[in-house]
C-alpha cells in the first residue's frame, strides 16, 4: 500500500554555487511490467488497477477511477464539475474530449458586475451563482461509450460501494474538511454533515449515502441518471434555493466535444496536449519551443540561470494566454500563430539572460493576488499500451461550496474562470480579455493540461497535475526534468517547482530544498521571490528504456498513489 521511500539527503552548499545537489541515488517510483495507474488517492488507484487486472482497458479504468475519485476525493474529484481527457491508442491514434463546464443560458457578460461596472467580490467564486453547467458525467460516459469494453454497471459499482459503506479519511482530508468548516456553514447551514464540532481527524470514517444514490441513478440510466430525472430536479431545486442560474434546459442541452489535440516537438519528442478551451496545451508547447533554443541540461536544474530563463518564457506565454485564448466555438483562437516556431522565436527574442523583463513592459495589466486552486489528474496505461491523461476540476476546494441536497455532491465555481471583466484578474491572478468574456453556453478558459509525450513513435510519458495557473508550469518542468535532466519519473515529480505567470510580476518557489545562492542571484537580476508551501500534485507515468512503466505520484504533496502490475 505504501511506497518504498528512498531516504534522500540533500546538502545545500554554503558556497556561491547555483547548482542544487542532485541525489546520487534516484528515487524510482513503482514499476509495472504491463500497466500503471497514478491518481490522487490510493483507493481510486486500486479501483482502476482491479479493472485492468480483470481485462478492462484504459478507458474502462478511467471511468471507474473518475467515479471513485468523486467519492474519496470530494474537494476536486467530482460529478459536479468538468474537465479534459487526452488519449493515445496503442497504434498511435490520438484524440481529446472537452467536457469543460459551460455558462448557463441565463448567464451574461456583466453578471458579476455592480451598477458601476465593478466586479462584485466573491460572486463568481462562492455560492450558487458561481456554478457552471457540469460536464464531468457526460464526458466520462462519452469516453467510455466510444472506447470502453466493460459494462457501466460493473465499472461504477466500486464507487457506489465506497460512497454507501464509507471509507477512512486521511490526515490531509481531515484538515481540508476542517479548514472549510465556516464556508460549509455559510453556504449549507450549521447542520451540514461535513461540519463536526470536534473536527475531523485522521482515520475517521465518512459515508456519502446520497451520492451513492446519484451514482446508482447513473449506473442504471446512464446520462439520463444525471442530466434528467430526479438528480436533475435536485440540481435545479438547489439553484432555485440559492439564486443560481442552471436550469433543466441547461442540463439537457449539455454535450461534451471531441477535439483535435495540439502537438509540437521538443528535442526529438512529440508532445501532445489539450487544445482550447484549455490554455494549457498551447502554453506548454510555446514554453517548450522557447526552452529548446537553450541548452537546459548544461544550464542545470533549478539554477538561477535556468529559473530566470523559465520565468522570462512564462511571462510572455501567460501574456499571450490573456490576449488570445478562449472557447474556440465562440472565438477564433489563433492556434497556428501561437504554435508557429517563427512566431515564438520572435516572441522570446527580447529575453536577456542577465536581467529580468518587467511584466508591465510585455503587456499592460494589474494583478495583486494569486490563490490556490483544486483540480485532480490521473494517468493510465493499460496492458495493450493505450494511454489516458485526464484532468478534472471543481476549480476551488469544494468548488462554490454548494452541496446539492439529496444528490450528495458539490458544484463547481468555474464561472470565475471567465473574464468577469476583461483586464481584471480572477481568483488565481489570471487576466483574461474579450476572448474569454462570459457568453451563454460558452466554455470558460482553463489551465488544465493533460499531456502525452512520444519518442520515436512510441509512448514515452503521460503527464498532468492540478494547481490552477501553476498546472502549466508544473507540466512544463516535469517534461524537462525527464528529457533535459535525465530524472526518473518519481524524481521529476518530487523536484522543487517554481512558477511565474506574467502577472503578478514575481516568481513563486516551493518551500523545499532550493539553493539560497540561486535565490540571491535571481533577486540581483531584479526578480521578486515568494515562497509557497506546494504547487500541484502530479500523477505521471514514464515508459523507461527497459520497457517498464514507472509511476510518479505526488505522495509528498498529497495522498497521491501509483500502482502497476
The answer to whether the bond into 504 is cis (omega within 30° of 0) is yes
Q: Report whether 252 contacts 109 (CB < 8 A).
A: no
Q: Which residues contact 169 (CB under 8 A, 6 or more apart)?
A: 177, 200, 202, 203, 204, 205, 206
Q: Which of 557, 357, 359, 543 is nearest to 466 (CA)?
A: 557
Question: What letter does residue 171 receive in the DSSP assignment?
Answer: H
Rounded to the nearest 5 degrees, what angle is found at the Cα of 171, between the Cα atoms of 165 and 186? 80
Distance CA 398, CA 418 (A): 18
Adjacent-strand bridge partners of 551: 541
Locus of grid cell 472557447:
327
CA angle 48, 206, 202 (to 5 degrees): 90
Provide the 10 A C-beta neighbour count for residue 503: 24
Residue (of 446, 450, 495, 468) closest to 271 by Cα position: 450
Q: Which residue has the cell 517510483?
A: 29
Of 311, 375, 391, 470, the active-site residue reads: 375
Residues 6+ apart with CB under 8 A from 497: 470, 473, 474, 477, 510, 535, 536
Half-sphere exposure of 315 (CA within 13 A, CB side): 25
Exposure class string for 383-413: b at 16+ Cβ within 10 A, else e: bebbbbbbbbbbbbbbbbbbbbeebbbbbbb
Residue 375 bears catalytic tag: yes
Q: Is residue 500 within 8 Å of 314, Cβ to Cβ?
A: yes
Alpha helices (H) along 428-557 = 470-483, 489-494, 516-524
Element spanning 531, H or E: strand 529-532
Please name the helix (run of DSSP H) or strand (run of DSSP E) that holds residue 270, with its range, or none: strand 269-273
User: How far apart are alpha carbons 561 and 553 in whole angstroms?
Assistant: 5
Residue at grid coordinates 431545486? 237
Query: Which residues are 37's β-sheet partners?
Result: 380, 563
Cell 458579476 belongs to which residue?
112
Measuring CA to CA, which residue among 96, 75, 84, 198 is closest to residue 135?
84
Taking the C-alpha atoms of residue 18 and residue 12, their distance in angstroms, rounded to an integer, is: 10
CA quadruple 479, 481, 484, 487: dihedral positive or negative? negative
3-state secondary structure of 388: strand
**What sign does the CA torsion over 529, 413, 158, 388 have?**
negative
Computed from CA positions of residues 240, 434, 334, 394, in that sequence, does the dihedral angle turn out positive or negative?
negative
DSSP assignment of 534-562 equals: -----EEEEE-TTS-EEEEE-TTTSS-EE
Residues marked as catalytic? 375
Amino acid at each position: 500500500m505504501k511506497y518504498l521511500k528512498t531516504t534522500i539527503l540533500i546538502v545545500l552548499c554554503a558556497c556561491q554555487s547555483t547548482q542544487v545537489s542532485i541525489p546520487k541515488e534516484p528515487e524510482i517510483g513503482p514499476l509495472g511490467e504491463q500497466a500503471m495507474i497514478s491518481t490522487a488517492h490510493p483507493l481510486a488507484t486500486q479501483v482502476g488497477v482491479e479493472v485492468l487486472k480483470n481485462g478492462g482497458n484504459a478507458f474502462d479504468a478511467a471511468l471507474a477511477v473518475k467515479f471513485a475519485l468523486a467519492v474519496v476525493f470530494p474537494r476536486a474529484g467530482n460529478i459536479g464539475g468538468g474537465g479534459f481527457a487526452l488519449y493515445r491508442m496503442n497504434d498511435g491514434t490520438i484524440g481529446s474530449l472537452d467536457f469543460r463546464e459551460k455558462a448557463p443560458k441565463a448567464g451574461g457578460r456583466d453578471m458579476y458586475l455592480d451598477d458601476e461596472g465593478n466586479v462584485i467580490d466573491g460572486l463568481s467564486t462562492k455560492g450558487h451563482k458561481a456554478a457552471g453547467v457540469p460536464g464531468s458525467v457526460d464526458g466520462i460516459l462519452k469516453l467510455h461509450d466510444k472506447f470502453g469494453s466493460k459494462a457501466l454497471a460493473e465499472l461504477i459499482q466500486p464507487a457506489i460501494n465506497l460512497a454507501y459503506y464509507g471509507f477512512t479519511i486521511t490526515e490531509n482530508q481531515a484538515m481540508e474538511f476542517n479548514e472549510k468548516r465556516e464556508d460549509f456553514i455559510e453556504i449549507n447551514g450549521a447542520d451540514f454533515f461535513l461540519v463536526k464540532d470536534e473536527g475531523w481527524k485522521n482515520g475517521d470514517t465518512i459515508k456519502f449515502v446520497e451520492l451513492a444514490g446519484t451514482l446508482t441513478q447513473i449506473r442504471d440510466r446512464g446520462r439520463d441518471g444525471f442530466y434528467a430525472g430526479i438528480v436533475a430536479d435536485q440540481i435545479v431545486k438547489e439553484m432555485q434555493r440559492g439564486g443560481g442560474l442552471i436550469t433543466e434546459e441547461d442540463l439537457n442541452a449539455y454535450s461534451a466535444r471531441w477535439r483535435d489535440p495540439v502537438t509540437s516537438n521538443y528535442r526529438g519528442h512529440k508532445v501532445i496536449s489539450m487544445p482550447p478551451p484549455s490554455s494549457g496545451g498551447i502554453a506548454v508547447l510555446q514554453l517548450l519551443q522557447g526552452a529548446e533554443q537553450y541548452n537546459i541540461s548544461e544550464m542545470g536544474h533549478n539554477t538561477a540561470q535556468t529559473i530566470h530563463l523559465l520565468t522570462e518564457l512564462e511571462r510572455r506565454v501567460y501574456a499571450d494566454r490573456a490576449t488570445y485564448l478562449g472557447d474556440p466555438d465562440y472565438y477564433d483562437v489563433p492556434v497556428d500563430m501561437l504554435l508557429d516556431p517563427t512566431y515564438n522565436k520572435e516572441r522570446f527574442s527580447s529575453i536577456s539572460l542577465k536581467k529580468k523583463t518587467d511584466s508591465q513592459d510585455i503587456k499592460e495589466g494589474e494583478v495583486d493576488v494569486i490563490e490556490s486552486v483544486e483540480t485532480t489528474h490521473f494517468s493510465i496505461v493499460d496492458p495493450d499500451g493505450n494511454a489516458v491523461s485526464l484532468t478534472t476540476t471543481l476549480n476551488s476546494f469544494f468548488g462554490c461550496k454548494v452541496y446539492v441536497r439529496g444528490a450528495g455532491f458539490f458544484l463547481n465555481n468555474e464561472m470565475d474562470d471567465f473574464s468577469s471583466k476583461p483586464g481584471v484578474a480572477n481568483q488565481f491572478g489570471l487576466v483574461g480579455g474579450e476572448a474569454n468574456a462570459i457568453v451563454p453556453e460558452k466554455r470558460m478558459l482553463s489551465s488544465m493540461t493533460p499531456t502525452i509525450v512520444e519518442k520515436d513513435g512510441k509512448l514515452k510519458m503521460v503527464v498532468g497535475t492540478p494547481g490552477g495557473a501553476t498546472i502549466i508550469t508544473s507540466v512544463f518542468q516535469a517534461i524537462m526534468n525527464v528529457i533535459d535532466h535525465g530524472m526518473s519519473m518519481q524524481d521529476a515529480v518530487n523536484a522543487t517547482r517554481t512558477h511565474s505567470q506574467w502577472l503578478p510580476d514575481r516568481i513563486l518557489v516551493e518551500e523545499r530544498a532550493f539553493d539560497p545562492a540561486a535565490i540571491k542571484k535571481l533577486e540581483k537580476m531584479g526578480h521578486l521571490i515568494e515562497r509557497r508551501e506546494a504547487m500541484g500534485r502530479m500523477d505521471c507515468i514514464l515508459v523507461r528504456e527497459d520497457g517498464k512503466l514507472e509511476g510518479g505520484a505526488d505522495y509528498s504533496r498529497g495522498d497521491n498513489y501509483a500502482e502497476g502490475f
